[in-house]
Amino acid sequence: MKIGVAKETFAGETRVALTPEVVKKLVAKGFEVVVESGAGAAACFPDADYQTAGALVADSESVYASEVLVKVRKPSGAEIARLGAGAVLIGLIELCEDDGTLKALHEKGVKVMAMERIPRISRAQSMDVLSSQSNIAGYRAVLEAAGLYGRFFPLMMTSAGSAKPVRLVVLGAGVAGLQAIATARRLGAEVWAYDVRPETREQIESLGAKPIVLDIGESGSGEGGYAKELSAEAKAKQQQLLADELAKAHVIITTALIPCRPAPVLITEEVVQRMREGSVIVDLAAATGGNCPLTEKDKVVVKHGIRLVGHTNYPAMVPSDASSFYAGNIKNLLEIMVEDTGAGLSLKDFSTDEITAAMQIQPGS
């Protein structure tokens, strides 16, 4: 079975779907791997490393002729045109935005496997790309804040004087938020955190942060471990109660997302105006409107003396490790998608496994 590894063409994307280390393991299991020349260059994986691992490095035409094509981001129209009928595409399809990609893929007869649709069940943890990439985003967001904040993060004492530790607040205690807490604590910050799901309090405390507890009259716990959208009344109460805590912060990392919905507003303009000049807000929800309405997507702006960071692809800032994590997720998925018939590897019926059944996007869905 031939697996094609395409070079990413999405602006600013530096990751690659498979790394040489993972390619070597797949080749050992009987897969034939074809890598587009230069596919791993931005993540510091040269073509020579893929060749050493047993892959064939070729042009895009050869890669797109593969039975299975693996990507990080969804394909462009030109890339879809290269795919053969009956091919299997695996990647982040970004389903919340209907831009005609799915229609074009289905018209071409491509079987679409969306990595973001992997269910959050125990046996799928090793394939959960949203968690692996969110973990990187939480880490990198704190480093971005530290670089932009004009003061120390930890307590610093010298003969010339001392500096107090930064007061950092993390909004949202999912995978990205918990990693942000852990990273900020390692840098010496005093960390507070808030999440609408009451069950996260223990996780926040286990990382050495202090939970912000608000009584908003309802729980924000949703299905599959995600937060759900609050009622209008609860949102208003949440903003009001959070305001004083946020106004005291020097750095805020926001990670609150609701799948396929606009990001909830947690930091109002009034709160930004109350923060100390030079403070930093890193808004990981910038792609869906931002947890602060002043955030601008893919920009760093200064408003009311506060730096607002709206980057939308933090994993691409750590491309080597982000690619390694993503490739590991892909490898684990491929192992349940194929079987050895004795005459070689062949694809299973995707509907017979709850993981692949949940991932497959059918026409009209």
Which residues participate in catalysis according to the annotation?
120, 125, 128, 131, 226
Q: CA-CA distance, 174 to 37, in Å (whole number)? A: 37
Q: Give the angle subtended at the CA of 361 by the CAs of 287 and 74, to the nearest 5°.
A: 40
Q: Are strands 345-347 and 338-340 parallel, antiparallel or unpaired?
A: antiparallel
Please compute Rg for the chain using Cα positions. Answer: 22
- Give 358: exposed, middle or buried? Use CB within 10 Å, 0-12, 13-18, 19+: middle
Q: CA-CA distance, 359 to 347, in Å (whole number)? A: 15
Neighbours of 123 (CB within 10 A): 12
Q: What are phi and psi of 57, to 5 degrees?
A: -95, 120
Q: CA-CA distance, 66 to 58, in Å (whole number)? A: 12
Q: CA-CA distance, 41 to 79, in Å (whole number)? A: 19
